[in-house]
């Protein structure tokens, strides 16, 4: 995906970069960037309404925590059922660590609510 995006002339991918300030009235017209390796900052100006900011921190699920405890899908994410249950009883997985087609904050939050409810019911069933 990154290769396709970086090939577009109107898209700039900036690794190890932080945005420290944005300016503009109705729309962004200036962004201050910090190079996280050197600490140097610089400002870039734009025509208002001509720029957008999309933040990405990675695409590969970090599953080392559950290595050997849960099955992984072809995308590297943990396989669960619709209640976020893994192949290990009592182990639930939610969010971007899970094998799924859409990784966004809203889907991660929904996964978390489902997993928490399922875990609650699991714990209740142990004490019954």
Query: Is 38 inside any structural domain?
Result: yes
Confirm whether 103 is domain-assigned: yes
- % of the chain with per-residue pLDDT over 90: 55
Q: Is residue 25 part of a domain?
A: yes
Mean pLDDT of the chain: 88
* Number of Cβ within a 10 Å radius of residue 58: 8
Distances (CA, A) of 54 to 5, 13, 19, 113: 12, 10, 11, 26
Task: Please report whether residue 52 resides in a domain.
Answer: no
Domain check: are 73 and 105 in the same one? yes
Residue 80 lies in a domain: yes
State whether 40 and 77 are in the same domain.
no
The answer to whether the beta carbons of residues 19 and 31 sit under 8 Å apart is yes
In whole angstroms, what is the distance from residue 75 CA to residue 105 CA?
18
Buried b (16+ CB within 10 A) or exposed e, 84-115: bbbeeeebbbbbbbbbbeebeeebbeebeebb
For residue 52, CA distances in Å to 35, 58, 61, 108 come to 19, 19, 26, 23
Over 60: is that where the pLDDT of 1 sits? no
Mean pLDDT of 113-126: 93
107 and 78 within one domain: yes
Domain total in the chain: 2
* Residue 71 and residue 104 share a domain: yes
- Using the structure block, give the residue that is written with the tokens 């290595």: 67
**pTM across the whole model:** 0.59
Domain that holds residue 81: 64-126
Pair (70, 117) in one structural domain = yes
């Amino acid at each position: 995906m990154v290769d396709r995006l970086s090939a577009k002339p109107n898209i700039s991918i900036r690794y190890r970069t932080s945005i420290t300030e944005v300016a503009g009235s109705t729309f962004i017209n200036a962004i201050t960037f910090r190079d996280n390796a050197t600490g140097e900052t610089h400002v870039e100006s734009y025509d208002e309404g001509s720029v957008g900011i999309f933040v990405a921190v990675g695409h590969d699920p970090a599953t080392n925590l559950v290595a050997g405890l849960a099955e992984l899908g072809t995308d590297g994410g943990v396989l669960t059922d619709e209640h976020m249950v893994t192949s290990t009883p009592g182990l639930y997985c939610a969010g971007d660590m899970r094998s799924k087609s859409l990784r966004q904050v809203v889907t991660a939050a929904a996964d978390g609510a489902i997993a928490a409810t399922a875990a609650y019911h699991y714990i209740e069933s142990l004490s019954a």
